[in-house]
């Protein structure tokens, strides 16, 4: 069960900034990875979308948004 974010939690939150330009607005983007059918055992390669956030101003993806470091 997901915990609801309350107004009190938001008041105690930290605004995130772009590591390069310090902009505070971001767009959701996708990185796409292909996993070989030899690894998955499937008949075809598998395409996996990985959602993350890119700076709206400069396009940079902060390290903490790219958890798997792709």
Q: pLDDT for 15-43, tens place per residue?
A: 999 999 999 999 999 999 999 999 999 99
In a domain, 52, yes or no: yes
Domain that includes residue 52, residue range:
14-65
Integer angstrom CA distances of residue 60 from 10, 34, 65: 25, 22, 10
In a domain, 5, yes or no: no
> What tokens does 40 get?
């998955």
Q: Specify the pLDDT at position 67.
A: 76
C-alpha to C-alpha distance for 9 and 24, rounded to whole angstroms:
19
Q: Specify the pLDDT at position 69.
A: 74
Q: pLDDT for 43-67, tens place per residue?
A: 999 999 999 999 999 999 999 998 7
Backbone angles phi, psi at 5, to 5 degrees: -80, 125
In a domain, 8, yes or no: no
For the chain, the domain total comes to: 1
In a domain, 53, yes or no: yes
């Amino acid at each position: 069960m997901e915990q609801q974010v309350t107004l009190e939690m938001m008041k105690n939150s930290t605004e995130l900034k772009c590591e390069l330009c310090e902009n505070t607005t971001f767009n959701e983007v996708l990185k796409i990875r292909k996993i070989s059918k030899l690894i998955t055992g499937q008949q075809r390669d598998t395409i996996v979308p990985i959602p993350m956030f890119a700076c709206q101003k400069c396009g940079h993806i902060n390290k903490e948004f790219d958890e798997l470091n792709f």
